[in-house]
Amino acid sequence: MLGILLSTGEYPGELHRNFLMAVCSLFGDLEGFKVVETCYEGPGTATISTQSGEEHFDIFMRHDSREGYVVHYLCECKFRSGESLDLESKFKVFLSKANKVLDYALSRYGEGRFCFLFIANVPFGIWENQVQSVQWIMEQLKEENPTVDRMRKLSQSMRILIIPHWFIKTIG
C-alpha cells in the first residue's frame, strides 16, 4: 500500500518527494522490482560521475525477471499540480543527462540491460514513440553532435511513464 497522498497545499519540494515516494512504493509492490536508492538518501545517492561532472537522478531501481534477466532503471520523477508547460523542457534535460551517462550504463550493465525512465503525473506532449525514434532524439540533441549508432542505443533505452495523481490517490 502506498499510504502517500499528494496534497495541493504542499510546497513543490514536498510534492516531488511525496510523488517520488509513491512511485517507489508502487514499484516496490511489483514482483521483481527493487528500489536501490533515491536522491533523498543523502549526498551522492542516485548519482553517476561522468567526464563532464555528476549526473543526478531521482531513483535507481532494478527489475529481476523470473528468467534471470535484470534491467536497471535510472529514473527522473516530475510532479505537476497544474499545467505541464515546462515538462517538455525538463524531459529534454533528462534526455541530455541520459546521453551523458550512456557510456557508463553500457559498460556497467550492457546493452539492453538498462532503461532511462521519465515518470510524470500528467501527459506533456512527448510520447514514447518519439523517444524511441533515432531521428527525433538526434534532433533534440543536435548541439551534442550525436552519432546515429549512439542515438540508436539511447532510443532503445528511453521510456516515459505517466502515473496520474488520481491513480496514486486511488491505490493509496
Give the 3-state secondary structure of residue 75: strand
Q: What is the pLDDT of residues 129-150, one digit of tens each?
A: 999 999 999 999 999 988 999 9
Say how many Å lie between the first and final Cα of the chain, rounded: 6
Residue 80's pLDDT is: 86
The percent of residues above 70 in pLDDT, for the chain, comes to 90
Residue 10's pLDDT is: 55
* Close Cβ partners of 85 (under 8 Å, ≥ 6 residues apart): none
Q: How confident is the model at residue 14 (pLDDT cuts 50, 70, 90)?
A: confident
Q: How far is CA 60 from CA 47, 91, 119, 159, in A?
A: 9, 17, 13, 14
Residue 3's pLDDT is: 44
pLDDT at 83 over 70: no
Q: What is the pLDDT of residues 34-75, one digit of tens each?
A: 999 999 998 889 999 988 899 999 999 999 998 999 999 999
- For the chain, the structural domain boundaries read 12-171
Q: Which residue has the higher pLDDT, 169 or 125?
A: 125
pLDDT at 100 over 80: yes
Q: What is the pTM of this model?
A: 0.89
The whole-angstrom separation of Cα 115 and Cα 156 is 8
Q: How confident is the model at residue 2 (pLDDT cuts 50, 70, 90)?
A: very low
Q: Report the mean per-residue pLDDT for the chain.
A: 89
Q: What is the pLDDT of residues 38-47, one digit of tens each?
A: 999 988 899 9
Mean of pLDDT values over 106-111 = 96
Q: How confident is the model at residue 11 (pLDDT cuts 50, 70, 90)?
A: low
The whole-angstrom separation of Cα 72 and Cα 105 is 9
Architecture of domain 12-171: 3-Layer(aba) Sandwich (3.40)
